[in-house]
Amino acid sequence: MAFDSTLKTGVSRRAVLAGVGAAGALAATSFSTPVRAQQATLRWWSPQAAPAQREAYLFQIAQFEKANPGVKVLFEPTSDEAYAQQLAAAFASGQVPNIVTHLPSFAVQDYWAAGLLEPFNDVITALGPQNFYEGANRIYEIDKGKYAGTGVGNTAANMLWVRKDLMQKASIDAIPRTWDELRNAARKMQGGGIFGAPLPYGRNSMTSLIFIGVIHQAGGQVFTPDLQVGIDTDKTLAALDWYKSMRELCPAGATNYSWGDSLTAFVSGATATGIYAGRVLANVTRQNPGIADSITCAAYPTISKDVEPWTFNDFPSVFIPKAAKDMEMTKKFAAHLFAPEGYIKQLLAAPGHVLPVLKPIAADPNYTADPIIKKFQKEVDLMAASAAGGYNLGFESAKHKPNTKGGKVVNSHVIAEMVQRVCLNNENPKTVLGETAKKIEEIMKS
């Protein structure tokens, strides 16, 4: 199945919006609707479970339950660091959730390759493939014509966040574009209890994922386009060298930082720069409004201006395990998640963090009228553009094949361990890199 994801010219915005509204309605009717009430309990897993997001999910659930008497939906939070383990146990025991959202696309590719997922084509068809951004679903088409899932949003996860007030105080005119500029700026802004940056050095997925971005920002790659291990290069060594040099500009506890810690460090004002997605906007607005007028973001710097920025988009996904019960109702619920009212509520629970994958939603006044989106329109637009051109280990560039072992490489922590060995233990980078390349090769062969 090939989807035409381009909008035909001549279709008015009103018509498009109506189309998505219809998609929501279609979602409720396109799967065979039982005449009598159907008893079913659906389980929904997601690692994105901040209180405001949960509230939005409960709204979507309530709407669905109202439209489908007898159906109950349970929301069960997982976490970015533990979903792999929890899902492995769930698949092994056969006690799988009906629907899983917000996991990175490489996890979906991994499970699809193991034959554990239900094709998502029906749901995409119900939503209208033309409503998705161009190319939004290509990373899920691992086998020709079959979609392992789809995106529930986009995220530009490694944006550089800066404090303009601190930059001004340190006489820094422009947002750093290269690593040297960033290091110098961080050094100038560090002091008085404020650190330069909250880069992660923990043995966790954040360190792996961020450092994969740093390798690309050095002009390198982890795999070649035909998925041979390609990490053992001078570019990775340069990335390690720079990352190590940044250690003294990060808080002592960065050796254990994961996503939440890194975010909090910037939001609380403990660091002058940040590395995160759009959740910064909502958290600063709610938790530290004093700096809200001073923050802005840019693509994370690269080794030189010759190397283009590389945005890590984890392509927050939605997929359905093949062993899920009540499949038809599950697909109906999956489509319901994109119904405009609930989907916009979900997106606005963390404005700018999870960005819409449906074009009409991004243009919907109910979405754009949000005060945080309005206030930070420039930043949101930049993140949306960066995410649209973003990649991750499951799909390192437009030239790369989908990597169904990407999730396994991340979850093995071999890349985070490499960072720790070089940056914290001061081990020889060449030796460590060589050993890491071998470990990745073993994972690819396993």
Partner 1 sequence: MLLSSQYAALGVLLIAPTVLVFCAVIVYPLVSAIYLSLFSIYTPTLQGKWVGLDNYAKLLASGEFWGALRVTLVWTIGTLVLQLVFGIALALLLHQNLVFRSLARGLILFPYFVSTVVAVLVWRWLFNDLYGILNHVLLAAGLIDMPLDWLGQMPNAMVSLILVGAWKYFPFVVITVLARLQTIPDHLYEAAEMDGAGPVARFFDVTLPQLRDVLLVVILLRAIWDFKEFDLIWLMTGGGPVTSTQTLPLLVYRSAFGLNEMGGASAVAVLMMLVMLVFMALYIRAQRQE
Record the tokens describing residue 404, joined without a space: 């169904």
408 counts as binding partner 1 under rule CB under 8 A: yes
Compose the 417-446 pattern: x for residues touching partner 1 by CB under 8 A, - for all others.
Answer: x--xx--xx-----------------x--x
Compose the 17-56 pattern: x for residues touching partner 1 by CB under 8 A, - for all others.
Answer: ----------------------------------------
Which range of residues in 57-65, 86-94, 288-296, 299-307 is near partner 1 by CB under 8 A?
86-94
Nearer to partner 1, 54 or 247 (CB): 247
Helices marked H in 298-428 — which ranges?
Answer: 327-336, 340-348, 359-363, 365-368, 371-375, 377-388, 406-411, 414-423
Shortest distance, CB of residue 114 to partner 1, whole angstroms?
A: 6
Record the tokens describing residue 415, joined without a space: 């890349």
Compose the 254-273 pattern: x for residues touching partner 1 by CB under 8 A, - for all others.
Answer: xxx--------x--x-x---
Residues 366-385 that bind partner 1 (CB under 8 A): none
201 counts as binding partner 1 under rule CB under 8 A: yes
Nearer to partner 1, 172 or 199 (CB): 199
Nearer to partner 1, 59 or 91 (CB): 91
118 counts as binding partner 1 under rule CB under 8 A: no
Residue 351: what are its φ and ψ, rounded to 5°? -55, 130
CA atoms lying within 13 Å on the CB side of residue 288 = 17
Of 120, 278, 270, 275, the C-alpha closest to 207 is: 275
**DSSP symbol at 219:** T
The one among 203, 244, 375, 401 contacting partner 1 by CB under 8 A:
203
191 counts as binding partner 1 under rule CB under 8 A: no
Of 336, 365, 265, 318, the C-alpha closest to 137 is: 318
Q: Is 240 left (phi over 0), alpha (psi -120 to 50) or beta?
A: alpha
Provide the 3-class DSSP secondary structure of residue 133.
coil
Record the tokens describing residue 211, joined without a space: 């450092």
Nearer to partner 1, 49 or 384 (CB): 49
Nearer to partner 1, 95 or 377 (CB): 95
Longest dimension (CA), the chain: 69
Shortest distance, CB of residue 107 to partner 1, whole angstroms?
A: 11
DSSP string, 231-256: --SHHHHHHHHHHHHTGGGS-GGGGG
Q: What number of residues does the chain have?
A: 446
The one among 11, 37, 58, 89 contacting partner 1 by CB under 8 A:
89
396 counts as binding partner 1 under rule CB under 8 A: no
The one among 92, 174, 426, 445 contacting partner 1 by CB under 8 A:
92
The number of residues that bind partner 1 (CB under 8 A) is 37
**C-alpha distances in angstroms, 43 versus 110, 246, 333?**
21, 43, 11
Alpha-carbon dihedral sign for residues 25, 30, 35, 38:
negative
The one among 43, 331, 400, 413 contacting partner 1 by CB under 8 A:
413
Cβ distance 379 to 279 under 8 Å?
A: no
Cβ distance 328 to 122 under 8 Å?
A: no
Which range of residues in 36-44, 211-219, 285-293, 404-412 is near partner 1 by CB under 8 A?
404-412
Shortest distance, CB of residue 88 to partner 1, whole angstroms?
A: 4
Shortest distance, CB of residue 89 to partner 1, whole angstroms?
A: 6
Record the tokens describing residue 306, joined without a space: 């010759």
Residues contributing to the site for partner 1 (CB under 8 A): 81, 84-89, 91-92, 111, 114-116, 201-204, 251-256, 265, 268, 270, 408, 411-413, 417, 420-421, 424-425, 443, 446
